[in-house]
Amino acid sequence: MLARGNWLGFVVLGALVLLPACGGGGGPAAGNQIGWSIAAVEVLTQPMNQFSPFGSTAGGDEVRIVGIGFEPAMTVYFGSTPAALTNVASPTEIRAFPSAMPPGTVDVSVRNSLGDAATLQDAITFYVPPAVASLVSIDGPTAGETRAPIAGGNTLEITGSNFVGTETSRIDGLFAPSIVQSPTIMHVTVPPRPGPGAVNVDVISEQGIVTTMLGALTYTQEFSLDPATDALSLQLAQHLYSRAAFGASPAVLQQAVNDGLGVTVGNLLTFVADPVVEQAALDLYDPNFPPSGSISTRTNRRWWVYLILNNPNPLQEKLAWFFHDHFATSQSGMSGRSIWFLWEQIELLRANSLGSWRDLLSEVARNQAMLVWLDGIVSTGSNPNENWAREFWELFTLGVDDGSGARYTQGEIVEASRAFTGYRRRTAPGEEYHEIIYELGRHDAGSKTIFGQAGMWGYDDNPDETRDTGNGTYPSGGMVDLTLGERPIYASEFICKKLLEYFVYENPHPQIVGDLALVLRSNNWELEPVMRTLLQSKALFSGRALAGQVKDPVSFVFSFLRTTEIDLSINRVDANHLAPLEQIPMQPPDVNGWVSGTAWLGSQAMLLRINFLQDAIDELETVADIQALLPPVGQRTPANMVDNIATLLGVQLSGSARTSLITYVTSELQGDTIVNVGFDPTDDDELLKKTRGLLWMTAQYWEGHQQ
């Protein structure tokens, strides 16, 4: 493109070369009687790009008129309207500023005081620039919001005025496909972006005029299962361990920062049994290893509480807790000789939480605790019980049907109840405990039609569940495979939604649920790839996930103890804390499991949590007990003491809260007066007292009840 100074090469909407003077507004007068003429017009302040041909303005631009014979008193007219300002720079150049005019092409004329004019016809086009009022996403997971997934692809609807059909747009500096729907609406397809953040949205007119909506669109990574950045800050490591474990000590968090996300998640997913820890947990039972004789419900709980607090594979216990809530089964009401069944079920969940979802469902269906809990032991071919069949689909595999029968029908529940028959309870021969056995004679061996498939369905394709029909032996099973095979979308999305809600954030959009469900189906229903994807995902580290979830009592108690490494006795944790907080392992309230979210934050519940904190902190009796909670020697200033505890507990202190806690470290209450007495970090008694106080006060902040 030619430089602005080489005006003879300008492309204008009138002439390209010097023209003879024109008298009045008509054609050239013989002999150029008035003595001046216009050669070209250029709009100087118009952007110089493919969207802004010279000679267009919305008014207010600086326009250069080039010609000969210009005199100081001359005035420029745009059509019949005089310029808002005219400056005759030289006999060959005039600068003028037109006012806004109705859209259309007009002549430009230069007139003297007598009204004589030299005119360049159709020299400039006036237009009305587009105005932008708002934008909103109209499809995709952020429909109705001013947000977009980082993968892009959703459509923004921009509303405004004066769209003429040639407007284009940019999002975060990138040109985005745009279609003008009407003079007031244009649609824009959002391009992808590597990460989250608020970005500008530009609407560009045909003339190159840019209207910018500052920070109008926010990209979010909450829908992305792509791997997050491998680098972990201390805060992100803490977030990872709050979801994938019941918290972590400062040393474990620092190791995660050193290792990065990929290695840390790999370690979390690798369960290497610690025989010392496993045996110490079993030692909480009688000398006779289970199952043997009658036990109390408390004995089972203490065994698992010990493992949750001490297992070096924290994700193993977090997943077992998730599945315990999913397959909510209670030992309440079971006889002392049957309570072993809950120990067996928890061991089943601990051992299979990263294995095959298909296999886990099959094992739980035949688990002795579940058979007792949902009446499988009284369901016979002659009198089938619907409890297990209903909950198998409604609570464990497919979710509640919406009435359409797309998932299952009441008739299919009846048919499935016939399939789930054949088990009963008996006292083990020569033993004092109960066991559940399968008897072919109690099973309904007839054909059942489920999901449109006729077959002699039973619990599973289990060699123990066969019967001789006179025509050979047939498998009585297949209910798990039938459900996953005939309802794969519902089945995979149901469990993946629950995993997302527990480990990432509540109410996930169907898009990310569907994406995670595809991971499950694509990996032959294996859970490990699902958890690896989830724990490394951008979604887990999105702003929505980082905003936190309310800790249930179990998470609150165990995360505080694992984070601070306070060694409370198992008996005190079980009897004094979990029972009053109304969340007792192995005793969910019903088949739906426990409530979640803010339901745990009533005033009485908060008081009980504070009492727990006091009881736990009382265990810190010497400086040796608090070493992991302190800044390094030589850096134990009051400010560092406060910041260290806040960071440890994941609490973001406001300026005033931080100042108050620093004042606490440096002050003493003398009578009714708070007196500044300074702080001596070498005084062990003072160090212990202030650390205990900081733990107690900081843990009560809102963030201390989030994960």
What pLDDT, in 10s, does the model give residues 649-698?
988 889 999 999 999 999 887 878 887 888 899 999 999 999 999 999 99
State phi, psi for 476 to the nearest 5 degrees: -90, 0
Please identify which residue in the block is written with the tokens 């004092």.
Answer: 432
Label residue 304 by pLDDT band (50, 70, 90). Answer: very high
Label residue 24 by pLDDT band (50, 70, 90). Answer: very low
pLDDT at 591: 93
Who wins on pLDDT, 607 or 145? 145
Strand, helix or coil for residue 625: helix
Residue 454's DSSP bridge partners are 449
CATH of 7-126, one of 2.60.120.10, 3.30.499.10, 2.60.40.10, 1.10.3720.10: 2.60.40.10
Give the end-to-end CA distance of the chain in Å, rounded to a whole number. 59
Cβ neighbours around 69 below 10 Å, total? 16
Instruction: Spell out the residues 6+ positions from residue 290 whose beta carbon is closer than 8 angstroms to its own.
Output: 282, 340, 343
Residue 11 clears pLDDT 60, i.e. is over it: no
Label residue 437 by pLDDT band (50, 70, 90). Answer: confident
Residue 7 clears pLDDT 50, i.e. is over it: no
pLDDT at 296: 81
Residue 81 clears pLDDT 90, i.e. is over it: yes
Label residue 98 by pLDDT band (50, 70, 90). Answer: very high
pLDDT at 46: 67
Who wins on pLDDT, 425 or 200? 200
Q: 624-661 b/e with 16+ CB inside 10 Å = b?
A: ebbeebbbeeeebebebbbbbbbbbbbbebeeebeeeb
pLDDT at 573: 84
C-alpha to C-alpha distance for 694 and 252, rounded to whole angstroms: 22
Q: Which of 345, 478, 327, 439 is nearest to 388 (CA)?
A: 327
Q: Which of 292-301, 385-394, 428-437 has the lowest mean pLDDT?
A: 428-437
C-alpha to C-alpha distance for 670 and 89, rounded to whole angstroms: 83
Residue 271 clears pLDDT 80, i.e. is over it: yes
Type of residue found at 327: F
Label residue 33 by pLDDT band (50, 70, 90). Answer: low
Q: 355-373 b/e with 16+ CB inside 10 Å = b?
A: ebbbebbbbbbbbbbbbbb
Query: What number is the average pLDDT over the span 432-453?
Result: 86
Q: 529-553 b/e with 16+ CB inside 10 Å = b?
A: bbbbbbbbbbbbbbebbeebbbbbb
Q: Which of 312-321, 379-388, 670-679 has the lowest mean pLDDT?
A: 670-679
pLDDT at 295: 81
Query: What number is the average pLDDT over the span 407-430?
Result: 90
Q: Which of 509, 149, 166, 148 is nearest to 157 (CA)?
A: 148
Instruction: Spell out the residues 6+ positions from residue 400 whose beta carbon is closer than 8 angstroms to its own.
Output: 394, 407
Query: What number is the average pLDDT over the span 185-201?
Result: 96
Query: What number is the average pLDDT over the span 393-399?
Result: 97
Residue pair 147/217 in contact (Cβ under 8 Å)? The answer is yes
Who wins on pLDDT, 435 or 170? 170
Q: Which of 609, 561, 565 is nearest to 583 (CA)?
A: 609
Q: Which of 89-93, 132-136, 413-417, 703-707 has the lowest mean pLDDT?
A: 703-707
Residue 581 clears pLDDT 70, i.e. is over it: yes
Residue 470 clears pLDDT 70, i.e. is over it: no
pLDDT at 52: 42
Give pLDDT tens digits for 500-534: 999 999 999 999 999 999 999 999 999 999 999 99
Q: Give the domain 131-220 fold.
A: Immunoglobulin-like (2.60.40)
Residue 481 clears pLDDT 70, i.e. is over it: yes
Query: What number is the average pLDDT over the span 256-279?
Result: 97
Who wins on pLDDT, 194 or 51? 194
pLDDT at 459: 81
Query: What number is the average pLDDT over the span 247-270?
Result: 96
Range picked from 177-191, 203-217, 280-294 for highest mean pLDDT: 177-191
Who wins on pLDDT, 247 or 58? 247
Instruction: Spell out the residues 6+ positions from residue 101 whose beta carbon is closer than 8 angstroms to its own.
Output: 59, 78, 79, 81, 126
- How many secondary structure helices (H) and strands (E) does the chain include? 22, 26
Residue 17 clears pLDDT 70, i.e. is over it: no
Who wins on pLDDT, 254 or 427? 254
pLDDT at 457: 86
C-alpha to C-alpha distance for 597 and 599, rounded to whole angstroms: 5
pLDDT at 9: 29
Query: What number is the average pLDDT over the span 462-480?
Result: 50
Please identify which residue in the block is written with the tokens 């934008």.
Answer: 135
Residue pair 12/18 in contact (Cβ under 8 Å)? The answer is no
pLDDT at 432: 67
pLDDT at 54: 58
Percent of the chain with pLDDT over 90: 63
Who wins on pLDDT, 49 or 39? 39
Q: Which of 40-54, 178-192, 308-322, 551-565 has the lowest mean pLDDT?
A: 40-54
Type of residue found at 565: E
pLDDT at 426: 84
Instruction: Spell out the residues 6+ positions from residue 139 whose beta carbon is closer than 8 angstroms to its own.
Output: 154, 155
Pairing of strands 434-438, 185-189: unpaired
pLDDT at 245: 97
Query: What number is the average pLDDT over the span 416-434?
Result: 83
pLDDT at 338: 84
Label residue 1 by pLDDT band (50, 70, 90). Answer: very low
Cβ neighbourhood burial of 569 (10 Å; 0-12, 13-18, 19+): exposed
Who wins on pLDDT, 320 or 33? 320
Q: Which of 44-48, 259-263, 401-405 has the lowest mean pLDDT?
A: 44-48
Give pLDDT tens digits for 612-647: 888 889 999 999 999 989 999 999 999 999 999 999
Who wins on pLDDT, 475 or 361? 361
Residue pair 242/557 in contact (Cβ under 8 Å)? The answer is no
Q: Which of 288-292, 438-442, 491-495, 651-655 has the lowest mean pLDDT?
A: 288-292
Please identify which residue in the block is written with the tokens 């620092």.
Answer: 254
Residues of the chain with CATH 2.60.40.10: 7-126, 131-220
Residue pair 183/129 in contact (Cβ under 8 Å)? The answer is no
| Mean pLDDT computed over every residue of the chain | 87
